A and B are shown apart, each in its own frame.
Chain A
Amino acid sequence: MSTGELTMHASRTARWARPLAALVITAALIATPYYFAPFRVFQLTMVLLYAVVLAGLNLLVGYGGQISLGHGAFFAVGAYTAAVMLDRFTTGHLATLPVAAAGCFLLGLGFGVPALRLRGLYLALVTLAFAVFLPPLLKRFEHVTGGSMGLTVPKPQPPSWTGLAEDQWLYFLTLTVAAVTLLVVRNLLRSRVGRALLAIRENESAAEVMGVRLSFHKALAFAWSAMFAGVAGCLYTWVIGFVSPDSFSLNLSITLLAGLVVGGLASVYGPLLGAAFVMYVPNLAQDISPAAPGVVFGLLIIAVMYLAPTGLAGLAARARQGVRRCVEHLRHTRRRPEPASPAEQTGPPQPEPQPLTAPPTIGKG
């Protein structure tokens, strides 16, 4: 079945297409850990985990237009919250998730307040400050955090009735959290918060005039965003079973931001693509150049930005548009030309200007 036919029949098949697609994707996601080697499953788990933090970051950066270079630190706070709870208080794993989420939400709200006064670059640098400051702070409180040696904590073990291996169980836990995250983010965007965020990004003063409670929503966006970073951090502790301050350096924050931009800002698929980039491209880089993977990795980042300035998701959208135009073209040549659909009208200008009808005269209105 060619892509072209797929598109053409799409409208007819539309009614059952979406549920079917959802079903197949769900089935594939559930089947994955049974088919792939544990180390592949682990990689996918990490992709999902990074997708959670990137989805949160996307809320802030992509939709809100605010830059954070401190999400590695929120991630660390989530990870440490979980680790300390497991290590010092031996709570169960499940208890750590809401605590990490709530803690990071509040911390994010705290950051959101100064963020109200700061824009763009300055906010980025204040959050960067947080990312730089956190590791030495974690080292300072050695009796709680384990200092620079870090903490080793048990991973969640699969209940025996599942018959799952540890990596499969971790995968399903992460998958569940990631799915919930994506749903929550989607609903957030559809809610007043999302509309306010978009309004803020597009034009702050106009948003203010429109009566959007700008400051409130800005702070709230920061809080949500930090919360997802914390959730991902908690998952990290579950999956890796080890935290140490120097694992959460500024580099992590920069990598996260780069991953999101490479994946695609303000796009639903951006965080997933970005997470895959962060996870797999370093491997590609070291396969190409074992001695200095950084050389290749740096070049790959530049190359992606060069080829897809709006990120991989944008590239996918562009490719899809290209396919669609090609299909439309085929349709036009095969059948009688039909009146242009609205979708076509918003497309890029055609190479030849269409002949204009005579300008309307004044009597028109």
Chain B
Amino acid sequence: MSGQVKDSPAGEPMTEAFLEVSDLHAGYGQARVLHGIGFSVGRGEICAILGPNGAGKTTTLRALSGMVKGRGSVTLDGTQLLGRLPEQTARLGVAHVPEGRGTFNDLTVEENLRVGAYLRHRRGRRARSERVAVAADLERVYGYFPKLRERSRQAAGSLSGGEQQMLAIGRALMLRPALLLLDEPSLGLAPLVTRELFRIVRTVNEEERTTVVVVEQNAQLALDIAHQAHVLESGRLVLSGPADQIRQDGQVAEVYLGISVQARKGG
């Protein structure tokens, strides 16, 4: 497996390709960041995108959610995502938790979560049932993140970094997303908090069969929860495969992911 870039189903059992990315190019203005990457994610899988700083990980997520324009093809359950704005991809069930949390700091915790459920507002006959469903989801999110319930009336800006990240994920979950995009959830958080976060992401994934694409610098953590992983370098995929395999390939880990084998053993 080592060294094989995944263009085609590479043998491992994949239920079905839910998210299909092929030949994706993207960039900012004149600067091109992604030079044609392709991968696919099965329904209900967690996919980690790893790589050094500036490799194009964040750009990949932004292209998926429409925050930057991309060329090529990105389909979600057969629907083309490229050429749509963020507010449109959200309607298709894509929930993107951007880098640096992306909470609404002036709003209370509960208001943040309600904004997350913005698209589920209904008029007429279905209004009532949907309201009930949203209320249930609120409970569900509080269930995952009990700390948020404690602070439901506080302004999001007053939360700690870890709580804000929880809130950002919780807000994304309120959309009942088909695809959850997480950008560097560990950024600036204490290791313990990060571990807790990733555990919850895994739980959500298992309980709700939400497909997750997570971008991480901390490769080790991401590989712990991911089913599949892809390594990006300078806008190109250099490595793809099941998370376990990538993690076990010591050389790969060292060269591309900065995971010191010693450290891993020690930790």
Of the candidates A347, A353, A362, A365, which one forms a contact with B23 in the assembled complex, judged by CB atoms under 8 Å apart?
A353
- The interface bits of chain B over 66-78 (1 if a CB of A lies within 8 angstroms of the residue's CB, else 0) are 0000011000000
A11 within 8 A of B: no
**A349→B27 contact, CB < 8 A:** yes
Pair A353/B25 contact, Cβ less than 8 Å? yes
| A347 and B239 form a contact (CB under 8 A) | no
Mark interface residues in B1-45 (1 if CB within 8 Å of A CB, else 0).
011110100000000000000010101001110011100000000
A362 to B239, CA, bound (A): 7
**Within the complex, which residue of B2, B31, B72, B255 is in contact with A353, where a contact is CB–CB below 8 Å?**
B72
B114 in the interface (beta carbon within 8 A)? no
In A327-365, the 8 Å CB interface with B consists of 346-349, 353, 356, 359-365
Per the CB 8 Å criterion, the residue count for chain B at the interface is 22
Residues of A within 8 A of B255 (CB): 365
B238 within 8 A of A: yes
A365: which B residues are within 8 A, CB to CB?
255
A353 to B35, CA, bound (A): 10
Q: Are A356 and B238 in contact (CB under 8 A)?
A: no
B237 within 8 A of A: yes
Known: A346-B30, A353-B25. A362 touches B71 (CB 8 A): no
What is the bound-complex CA distance between A348 and B69, given in angstroms? 13
* A interface, size bucket: 10 to 19
CA gap between A364 and B7 in the complex, in Å: 18
Query: Complex Cα distance A356/B36, Å?
Result: 7
Is residue B252 within 8 Å, beta carbon to beta carbon, of the partner chain? yes
Q: How far is the CA of A151 from the CA of B121 in the complex (A)?
A: 68
B236 within 8 A of A: yes
Q: Which residues from B are CB-within-8-Å of A364? A: 238
CB neighbors of B among A268-292 (8 A): none
Q: Which of A347, A349, A359, A362 contacts B2 (CB 8 A)?
A: A362
Q: Which residues of B contact A349 (CB under 8 A)?
A: 25, 27, 32, 71
B3 touches A363 (CB 8 A): yes
- Bound Cα distance A363, B4 (Å): 10
CA distance A360 to B36 in the complex (A): 12
| Bound CA–CA A202/B20 (angstroms) | 36
A363 to B2, CA, bound (A): 10
Nearest Cβ on chain B to A345's Cβ, whole angstroms: 8
The CA of A365 and the CA of B256, in the complex, are separated in Å by 10
Kindly list chain A residues whose C-beta atoms are within 8 Å of the C-beta of B237: 359
Contact B72 A359 (CB under 8 A): no
Q: Could you tell me the distance between the alpha carbons of A361 and B7 in the complex, rounded to whole angstroms? A: 12
Tell me which of B3, B35, B36 contacts A362 (CB under 8 A). B3
Nearest CB in chain B to that of A363: its residue: B3
- Tell me if A360 and B238 are in contact (CB < 8 A): yes
Closest residue on chain A to residue B237 by CB atoms: A359
Q: A353-B36, A360-B236, A362-B252 given. 15 additional CB < 8 A pairs? A: A348-B30, A349-B32, A353-B71, A356-B23, A356-B36, A359-B5, A359-B7, A359-B37, A359-B237, A361-B4, A361-B238, A362-B3, A362-B238, A363-B3, A364-B238
Q: List 27 A-B contacts (CB under 8 A).
A: A346-B30, A346-B31, A347-B30, A348-B30, A349-B27, A349-B32, A353-B23, A353-B25, A353-B36, A353-B72, A356-B23, A356-B36, A359-B236, A359-B237, A359-B238, A360-B236, A360-B238, A361-B3, A361-B5, A361-B238, A362-B2, A362-B3, A362-B5, A362-B239, A362-B252, A363-B3, A364-B238
- Residues of chain B at the chain A interface (Cβ within 8 Å): 2-5, 7, 23, 25, 27, 30-32, 35-37, 71-72, 236-239, 252, 255
Chain A residues proximal to chain B, CB less than 8 Å: 346-349, 353, 356, 359-365
> A-B pairs with the 10 shortest C-beta distances?
A362-B3, A356-B36, A346-B30, A359-B5, A361-B3, A359-B236, A362-B239, A353-B71, A362-B238, A359-B237
